[in-house]
Amino acid sequence: MPGTGAKATCEIEVRTDPLTGETTRINRARQGRPRQQEAVTVPKIAKDCPFCPENLESSTPTFPPDFCGSERIRAGRAVAFPNMYPLSSLHGVVAFTPEHKLEINRYSPEELADGITASAAFMRAASENGYPFHFLGWNHLSQAGASVLHPHFQVIAGRSPVRSLRESLDSCRLYRARESRCFWDDLLESEVGSPRFVGKTKGFFWIAPWAPKGTCEVIGILERDCSSLLEIERDFALGLADGISRILRGYWEMGIRSVTMGIFSLPPGHGEGTFRLHARIMGRSRRIGCDRAFLELYGWEVGLTEFPEEYAAALRGFF
Ligand SMILES: [Zn+2]
C-alpha cells in the first residue's frame, strides 16, 4: 500500500462468454478508484430540440414516397423518420415518446413498446425495399454517444448484418454443430432460477450474463424459438418493453443515468432455429466520464467492477 510498504491483495475474476468466448475482467476494488471529475448528471431541458413535437415536422427529413406509403411512420405516440446523418443507405430514427424527458426511470412500457412497434414497421418497409438486415440501437445521453438527447432509437438497415449479429449467428451455428442443441435453450435452462436470473415478462426472460459486456448488463431473451422482431405480436413487444422499463427503473435506483441498448434480430427463419431474438442493455459511465478505454478499444476485452450475481439480485426487486 502507498506509504506503508505493506503488500496489497486484489481479486480479479476473468470470465469467458459461453457463446462467443469473449473475455470480461471483473475487479470490485476498482469501484473505489479516485475520480478526478464529476459523475454523470442528467442535463436540463435543451431549447429547440429537433425531435420535440413542435419542431419534428420542420426539422427532420421524410421518407421517399415509394418507401412505406407515408412521409413518417407513426405507432401510438412514436414516430420514425430518416436519420439526417446516416451510417447506412437506410438509417431510421424513432423518437419513441413526444415528451422530452431524460430520466430513464420515467419511460413507460407503452411508450417503449410504441418505439419498438415503429422500429419494426421501419424494418418491414426496409425489407420490402431490399434491406433485410436490421440493427436496433439506443444511446441515451451523451455519455452513451447520443447527440440529440430527446429519447430515440435508431435502426440501421442493410443488405448484410452488422458484425456482432453475424458473429453471434456464426457462434450459434457452431454451438449447434458441437452440442446438437440450441444455445438459447441451454442458456435458459441453466440460467433461469440461477443467481444471475433477473425476472420474466410476457414472452421474455431477463438474465445478467455470466461475462457481461458492460456495466450491469442484462439480456432479454425471447422464450419461444423465433429470430426476428418482425414476428412478435403487440403483447410480446409490450413484454419486451416492460422488461426494459423495469431494468431502467432498477438502474436509476443504482445511480445509472445513461444507457446503451441493442436489439439483436435477424430476418424471420434466418439461422435455422439456432438464433433467438434478444435485447442487450447496459449502464454507461456511472462513475467516470467514459467506460470504453484501452482494454475495450484495443484489448477487445471488457473491464468491470460489478458481478452479475450481485446486480441481478438488486434488479430482481423491480420484476
Ligand atoms: Zn425533445
> Domain map of the chain by residue range?
48-319
Calculate how far, in angstroms, residue 60's C-alpha sits from the geometric centre of ligand 1.
12
Q: What is the DSSP string of 82-110?
A: E-SS-SSSEEEEEE--SS----GGG--HH
Grid cell 425495399 in the structure block, residue: 129
Calculate how far, in angstroms, residue 115's C-alpha sits from the geometric centre of ligand 1.
15
Calculate how far, in angstroms, residue 103's C-alpha sits from the geometric centre of ligand 1.
13
Calculate how far, in angstroms, residue 95's C-alpha sits from the geometric centre of ligand 1.
9
CA distances from 21 to 65, 148, 218, 220, 314 (A): 45, 35, 18, 20, 27
Backbone angles phi and psi of 201, in degrees to 5? -125, 175
Backbone angles phi and psi of 162, in degrees to 5? -65, 160
Calculate how far, in angstroms, residue 110's C-alpha sits from the geometric centre of ligand 1.
18
Cβ atoms of 11 and 164 closer than 8 Å:
no
Q: What is the Cα 230 distance to its own chain's centre?
A: 17
Q: Is the pLDDT of residue 38 over 60?
A: no
Calculate how far, in angstroms, residue 93's C-alpha sits from the geometric centre of ligand 1.
13
> What pLDDT score was predicted for residue 46?
67
- Count of residues making up the chain: 319
> What pLDDT score was predicted for residue 39?
58
Handedness of CA 103, 105, 110, 112 (dihedral sign): positive
Cβ atoms of 192 and 316 closer than 8 Å:
no
Q: What is the pLDDT of residues 116-148, one digit of tens each?
A: 999 999 999 999 999 999 999 999 998 898 989
Binned at pLDDT 50, 70 and 90, residue 23 comes out as very high
Calculate how far, in angstroms, residue 51's C-alpha sits from the geometric centre of ligand 1.
5
Calculate how far, in angstroms, residue 25's C-alpha sits from the geometric centre of ligand 1.
37
Mean pLDDT of the chain: 94
Q: Is the pLDDT of residue 304 over 60?
A: yes
Calculate how far, in angstroms, residue 94's C-alpha sits from the geometric centre of ligand 1.
12
Evaluate whether the domain defined by 48-319 bears CATH number 3.30.428.10.
Answer: yes
Q: What angle do CA 218, 23, 153 make, to 5 degrees?
A: 35
Calculate how far, in angstroms, residue 278's C-alpha sits from the geometric centre of ligand 1.
28
Calculate how far, in angstroms, residue 116's C-alpha sits from the geometric centre of ligand 1.
19
Helix axes 234-253, 308-316, angle to 10 degrees: 110
> What pLDDT score was predicted for residue 193?
95
In one-letter notation, the amino acid at residue 252 is W
What integer is the mean pLDDT of 308-313? 98
CA distances from 40 to 45, 126, 162, 202, 262 (A): 16, 36, 30, 33, 21
Helix axes 183-191, 163-179, angle to 10 degrees: 80
Calculate how far, in angstroms, residue 53's C-alpha sits from the geometric centre of ligand 1.
7
> What pLDDT score was predicted for residue 62?
97
1-5, 42-46, 286-290, 300-304 — which one is most confidently predicted on average?
300-304
Q: Is the pLDDT of residue 37 over 70?
A: no
Predicted TM-score of the model (pTM): 0.95
Calculate how far, in angstroms, residue 126's C-alpha sits from the geometric centre of ligand 1.
26
Calculate how far, in angstroms, residue 119's C-alpha sits from the geometric centre of ligand 1.
19
Calculate how far, in angstroms, residue 183's C-alpha sits from the geometric centre of ligand 1.
40
Q: Is the pLDDT of residue 36 over 70?
A: no
Q: What is the DSSP string of 38-59?
A: PPP-PPPPPSS-TTSHHHHHHH
